[in-house]
Structure 1
Amino acid sequence: MTSEETLPSPKVAFLGPLGTYSHQCAVEHFGDNATYTNYPTLTKVFHAVGDEVDYALIPQENTIFGSVVETYDCLRLPELGENKFIRGEKTIGIQHCLVVRQGVELGDVKKIISHEQALGQCSKFLTENFPDAILEKRPSTAEAAQSLLTPEEGFEGERAAICSAVCATMFEELQLVRKVFKTRNPRLRQALIRIGMTAEAEIPPENASYHRPLHHVISTLFTSFGVPVTRIDRRPSLRPIPFDDVYFIEVEELGTPLEYRNPTASPSSVSEENWLRKVQESVRRVRSAGLDATLIGLW
């Protein structure tokens, strides 16, 4: 490659509109060299990878309100692990802000709107300061802030929104009245494995009791994984069987080197290959125990 040649700009999808925490996280990770496209739902962000964009950034969890359900519903899909793969994560500090239209007093606020994750994170603040306010979910924190600029038909009263600090500066008609919540949670080197019953597993007769595969999963954790398990998440499987679940097992490299604790450090190819072999061996052991296991992320 000559000095005049440059690598193509990556196309990155995130949950929009502009000003969401997903937008902030994407820009912090990919920088100015990327082309960004926002989508109205996490499901559309996920499905955009391949034909429309090179990378998608979707939120997994926050430290107060827990896992993002829509994200884990996407992680159930068989295309993840086949033609889509998780290759990284980024943890950002969350700074929620309460915004209103210019001139609105807090005592006049009758409704507070935001993404359900933000409402959950700020539940203590909202209960203490706005015990009688209506809480309304919106697709994103940025959309909630932007909606304050348009009168709500049929609603008498003032509204406020919980959003990011950067979002609060995007609209001149809004004013920041209170910083509500802030968190940061550093992470180490991880991998994510999806586990469930195999497609050939016998479907129980109608009205027969069905035992979840949890006991199979738990038993394999002590015999099949050669690396520490840091968390387990569960969602209903895609099979049309009541109480049939799929599990997401997150593992961490034992004795994570200090280079991986530094988010600016680049892991060596040898270390990455060794980590991949460890995880693949764990997947092989789970499969040999009679379960379906797929490596869907490694970073």
Structure 2
Amino acid sequence: MIKRTAYLGPKLSFCEQAAKLHTGQEQGEMLECSTIAGVFAAVEEGKAWQGIVPIENSCEGSVNETLDLLAYDSGLAITGEIIMPVKHHVMVREGLRTEEVTHILSHPQALAQCRKNLRHHFPGVRLRELPSTAEAARMVALSDKPWAALASAGAATAYGLSVIIPDMHDYPNNETRFVAISREANAYVPESKTSLLIHTRNVPGALYECLHEFALREINLNKIESRPARTRIGEYMFFIDIEGHKDDVTVQSAVAALLQSAAALRILGSYPAARFAGV
């Protein structure tokens, strides 16, 4: 298979930045996709050997589309993670004043991450959702309408836009976590994380019993989040990230116990824990 990495485009998106950080010096070819589902499809169909997609933000929480694709529509494994700071800037075509802006274009997560500041600086201005921040910048650059984009400084430079308000995000420590997905699981590496998907039984104490297995073995949890099981109201699946590799003895023991108590369990992948990537 060609060493090609699929990512949520267009070029200059935060996802492309994460993909380049993850691949490092061995970038190979990059395959731009217009949707998160398109990234998954490219990997599943063999058009790319791995894909990079956003999975959660430190302020706005999880990207539900990515979680749902992992849970219900894909057999791909998580093979890596990238955590990077995300800075959003308001940008316009040269000469457009702040008070003239009628619409602000961006990705839904970016708009949500800047909600308070947008209300303060642009009361009454309409917000328009697009597949990515970079696509918002591209559309503003090509349009003759009084629009602004919420995107990265790199996008402003590439499309010849002027930043009128920098650092629009509501919280200065705004970070997004991206994951690498592949058809093949990773080989063992130390200092790993493992992502699990657990469907608990609909009985009292079911979630407690699952979490107790980790506590008994002193396995630290990094994340737990529920998503509807798509069966009936009140039934949920849980995404759980733990410290350790699926081949570690303690993790294997916990998984064996969970298989006895949970309705279903799936290991989504074990991968090296990310270090903060300042960009």
Do Structure 1 and Structure 2 share a fold, with TM-score over 0.5?
A: yes
Q: What residue in structure 2 maps to residue 250 of structure 1?
A: 241
2-side partners of 1:138 and 1:186: how far apart? Answer: 18
Structure possessing the higher relative contact order (Cα contacts under 8 Å, 6 or more residues apart): 2
> Aligned pair in 2 of structure 1 residues 124, 189: CA closer, same or farther (>3 Å)?
farther
By how many angstroms is 1:32 displaced? 4.9
SS where residue 87 of structure 2 aligns?
A: strand
Deviations 1:153-206 (A, max 9, x none): xxxx6211101111111112x1122212353669984211001158xxxxxxxx
| Residue type of the alignment partner of 2:156 | A
Matches for 1:161-176 after TM superposition, within 5 Å = 161-172=149-160, 174-176=161-163
Alpha-carbon RMSD across the aligned residues, in angstroms, is 2.5
1-side partners of 2:65 and 2:16: how far apart? Answer: 17
Q: What residue in structure 1 maps to residue 254 of structure 2?
A: 282
> Aligned pair in 2 of structure 1 residues 242, 274: CA closer, same or farther (>3 Å)?
closer
Deviations 1:20-43 (A, max 9, x none): 100011012213532100111101
Question: Which structure has the highest strand share of the two?
Answer: 2
Deviations 1:10-64 (A, max 9, x none): 2101001111100011012213532100111101111221411111111111111
Matches for 1:1-299 after TM superposition, within 5 Å = 10-33=3-26, 34-50=28-44, 51-77=46-72, 79-80=74-75, 84-151=76-143, 158-172=146-160, 174-180=161-167, 181=169, 182-183=172-173, 189-197=192-200, 212=202, 215-223=205-213, 226=217, 227-239=219-231, 241-253=232-244, 275=248, 277-299=249-271
> Aligned pair in 2 of structure 1 residues 130, 123: CA closer, same or farther (>3 Å)?
same
2-side partners of 1:46 and 1:79: how far apart? Answer: 8
Number of aligned residues = 251
By how many angstroms is 1:117 displaced? 0.7
Larger Rg: 1
2-side partners of 1:189 and 1:119: how far apart? Answer: 33
State whether residues 57 and 174 of structure 2, in contact with CA within 8 Å, keep that contact through their aligned partners in structure 1.
no
By how many angstroms is 1:237 displaced? 2.2
Deviations 1:215-253 (A, max 9, x none): 4123320135531222211222244x3443211011124
By how many angstroms is 1:78 displaced? 6.2
State whether residues 57 and 176 of structure 2, in contact with CA within 8 Å, keep that contact through their aligned partners in structure 1.
no
> Aligned pair in 2 of structure 1 residues 98, 294: CA closer, same or farther (>3 Å)?
same
> Aligned pair in 2 of structure 1 residues 290, 65: CA closer, same or farther (>3 Å)?
closer
1-side partners of 2:51 and 2:87: how far apart? Answer: 22
1-side partners of 2:149 and 2:48: how far apart? Answer: 31
| Residue type of the alignment partner of 2:269 | G
* Structure 2 unaligned residues grouped into runs of 5+: 178-190, 272-279
Q: What residue in structure 2 maps to residue 206 of structure 1?
A: none
| Residue type of the alignment partner of 1:47 | A
State whether residues 145 and 168 of structure 1, in contact with CA within 8 Å, keep that contact through their aligned partners in structure 2.
yes
SS where residue 77 of structure 2 aligns?
A: coil
State whether residues 105 and 148 of structure 2, in contact with CA within 8 Å, keep that contact through their aligned partners in structure 1.
yes
Worse-matched range after superposition: 99-108 or 279-288: 279-288
SS where residue 282 of structure 1 aligns?
A: helix
State whether residues 112 and 159 of structure 1, in contact with CA within 8 Å, keep that contact through their aligned partners in structure 2.
yes
State whether residues 90 and 163 of structure 2, in contact with CA within 8 Å, keep that contact through their aligned partners in structure 1.
yes
